[in-house]
A and B are shown apart, each in its own frame.
Chain A
Amino acid sequence: MSTAPADVQKTVTDFLTSIEKLPEGFGTDTPLYADGAELDSLETAELSATLEDVHGSDPYSIGEMPQTLGEILAFYAGA
């Protein structure tokens, strides 16, 4: 799949929905961890694997720790 923002956003949204952690009003500035989607380390690891599977790369695998969907989108925009 492409790394277009809409596609990446759908991947993240679908993932959060599948683990029942999609915050109300989820957007590019919503925190992924505490005070937001509240992903724990294993769920973050799963998000990393999901992004890699769907889009061929992911920010976590190169040592980045995006805090929001916006930072994930920025990673692909700059890739």
Chain B
Amino acid sequence: MDELLRRVAAVDPARVAVVTHDGTRTYGQLADDALRVAAALTERGIRRFAIAEVEAAAVLPLLAGASLAGAEACQYPPDAPDDLRSLVERFDHDVLVTDRDDLAGLAPQVLGTGALLGGASDPSVVVDPTPTDDVRPHLVLTTGTTGAPRGVRHDWNRLVRGTARVRPAPDERWLLAFGLHQFAGLQVLLHVAAAGSVLVAPAPRRPVEGLEAMRALGVTHASATPTYWRFLVAQLRSDGGPVPALRQVTLGGEAIPGPLLGELRATFPDAAVSQVYAASEFGSTGSMRDGRPGLSIDVLDRGDDADVDMRIVDGELWIRSRTGMLGYHGEPPIEADGWRATGDRVEIEGDRVLFRGRTSEIINVGGVKVHPLPIEERVAAVDGVVMARVYGRPNAMTGAIVALEVVAAPGTDEAELKTALKAACADLVPASRPRSITFVDEIVTTGSKILRREL
């Protein structure tokens, strides 16, 4: 990570790297910050630490400094103290770096960011910024949508390797719509640093702030989940303000409904629309730029020489990646370059690999396996539907039934909409038809993803 910042700083130290509503930081400043953080970590003998900060301008040098010093950093989500306390205990963090007053005493050692950004007290403690082949660890927490969060162990060398094909693009201004505690946020950061682009980092990072940052801070490129984009487009229509002049719209993090791609192309006519397929465990697999749903079948069976290869096993996508994780915290190491199940159900249709939902989201209705995503896509196309969520609702008769939550457009007659929703699903097999339809004010998300299980 540090080497990416330093590469840009070497040729153009004054180039802006991060923009927030509060100010900017240049590549030169971040590279110097990282050196000081690395020296401070080395002097204090810190080999592992957690970060509880949201400001990208503060987090970036902490991550880069850790990568330089070979210390394992772990960015926490912006959660309440009790939730973070459980993370401290679960992931054995003795050192917590934060400027939050409400986290005092949360870990055996709590340091302000200034304690590291200020560098070592002994000026003779310096860190050689020359990259090495040694493992430089980084810990990413999963969102915990299917249970307690897990710590995914990465190596900066492998992560940086994934940016080898990124071309220089100093004029691009990328929105940070993900938190840096999320792997997707880390991917955006790595891409920006590898391209020498600008990271625009609003806080908080909800769609409303993202839209504001697009307009006020000149965002040209943005990567977010489909759910985030749906909210942002809804917000755009609601406030009637100018449409941001985006050149790139990227989606990832969850399965992408086909109609959303068309909606985004219509909303941002000058933008290229692409999809990335990535996960905390196997890293990024590249992007699809043709604007069509799913992946090209060319991604399958690329052979042993490819950095990333995919295959389909019993309807589930498997991946082998040389930029993926080393294993999970507290668990035995895995074969890092081996094949892994992704948990994504897929089908081949023509020349595409189409996503049908997560294996964990499959609804078992009386022994019939139902994928929620195709139903959600069908429902989302009905007039009057702003957002929809399909999930399995426990039922004594059939084990589960397909349940549907809908956010209706203002002024919509709910009884009429319910009839239209049933009609839209009438030709589905009986087990796939929604048997419970509820109108709600909002769809609950976590990490900007829809939860397709009962809450």
Give Cα A79–Cα B431 distance, bound, in whole angstroms.
31
Contact with B along A23-55 (1 / 0, CB 8 A): 000000000000000001110111011100100
Instruction: Name, among A41, A45, A50, A63, the residue most crowded by chain B CB atoms within 10 Å (CB to CB).
Output: A45
Going nearest first, the 10 A-B pairs with the smallest beta carbon separation are: A46-B435, A45-B397, A49-B436, A45-B398, A45-B395, A60-B396, A61-B396, A45-B401, A44-B397, A42-B430
Instruction: Name, among B366, B397, B431, the residue most crowded by chain A CB atoms within 10 Å (CB to CB).
Output: B397
- Residues of A contacting B430 in the complex (Cβ-Cβ under 8 angstroms): 40, 42
Q: Are B396 and A63 in touch, CB under 8 angstroms?
A: yes
Chain B residue, CB-CB nearest to A40: B430
Q: Are A49 and B366 in touch, CB under 8 angstroms?
A: no
Nearest CB of B to A31, in Å: 17
Nearest CB of B to A78, in Å: 18
Chain A residue, CB-CB nearest to B366: A41
Give Cα A53–Cα B395 distance, bound, in whole angstroms.
12
- Residues of B contacting A44 in the complex (Cβ-Cβ under 8 angstroms): 397
Q: Contact residues of B with A, CB < 8 Å?
A: 365-366, 393, 395-398, 401, 403, 430-431, 433, 435-436, 438
Chain A residue, CB-CB nearest to B419: A18
- Residues of A contacting B393 in the complex (Cβ-Cβ under 8 angstroms): 49
Q: Are A49 and B401 in touch, CB under 8 angstroms?
A: yes
Give Cα A45–Cα B363 distance, bound, in whole angstroms.
14
Chain A residue, CB-CB nearest to B395: A45
- Residues of B contacting A61 in the complex (Cβ-Cβ under 8 angstroms): 395-396
The listed residue (B396, B401, B403, B438) touching A42 by CB distance below 8 A is B401
Instruction: Name, among A42, A53, A61, A63, the residue most crowded by chain B CB atoms within 10 Å (CB to CB).
Output: A42
Give Cα A53–Cα B438 distance, bound, in whole angstroms.
9
Q: Are A41 and B397 in touch, CB under 8 angstroms?
A: yes
Give Cα A42–Cα B432 distance, bound, in whole angstroms.
10
Give Cα A46–Cα B436 distance, bound, in whole angstroms.
7
Nearest CB of B to A17, in Å: 12
- Residues of A contacting B395 in the complex (Cβ-Cβ under 8 angstroms): 45, 48-49, 60-61
The listed residue (A48, A53, A62) touching B397 by CB distance below 8 A is A48
Give Cα A45–Cα B368 distance, bound, in whole angstroms.
14
- Residues of A contacting B438 in the complex (Cβ-Cβ under 8 angstroms): 53
Nearest CB of B to A62, in Å: 8
A-B contact pairs, 14 of them (CB 8 A): A42-B365, A42-B366, A42-B397, A42-B398, A42-B433, A42-B435, A45-B398, A46-B401, A48-B395, A49-B393, A49-B401, A50-B436, A60-B396, A63-B396
Give Cα A44–Cα B366 distance, bound, in whole angstroms.
12
Instruction: Name, among B430, B433, B436, B438, the residue most crowded by chain A CB atoms within 10 Å (CB to CB).
Output: B436
Chain B residue, CB-CB nearest to A18: B422
- Residues of A contacting B403 in the complex (Cβ-Cβ under 8 angstroms): 49
- Residues of A contacting B396 in the complex (Cβ-Cβ under 8 angstroms): 45, 48, 60-63
Chain A residue, CB-CB nearest to B430: A42
Give Cα A63–Cα B397 distance, bound, in whole angstroms.
9
Chain A residue, CB-CB nearest to B418: A18
- Residues of B contacting A63 in the complex (Cβ-Cβ under 8 angstroms): 396
Nearest CB of A to B288, in Å: 37
Nearest CB of B to A48, in Å: 6
Q: Are A53 and B436 in touch, CB under 8 angstroms?
A: yes
Nearest CB of A to B62, in Å: 49
- Residues of B contacting A40 in the complex (Cβ-Cβ under 8 angstroms): 430
Q: Are A49 and B435 in touch, CB under 8 angstroms?
A: yes
- Residues of A contacting B436 in the complex (Cβ-Cβ under 8 angstroms): 46, 49-50, 53
Nearest CB of B to A74, in Å: 18
Give Cα A50–Cα B438 distance, bound, in whole angstroms.
11
Nearest CB of B to A67, in Å: 14
Give Cα A67–Cα B241 distance, bound, in whole angstroms.
58
Chain B residue, CB-CB nearest to A58: B396
Nearest CB of B to A64, in Å: 9
Give Cα A42–Cα B307 distance, bound, in whole angstroms.
47
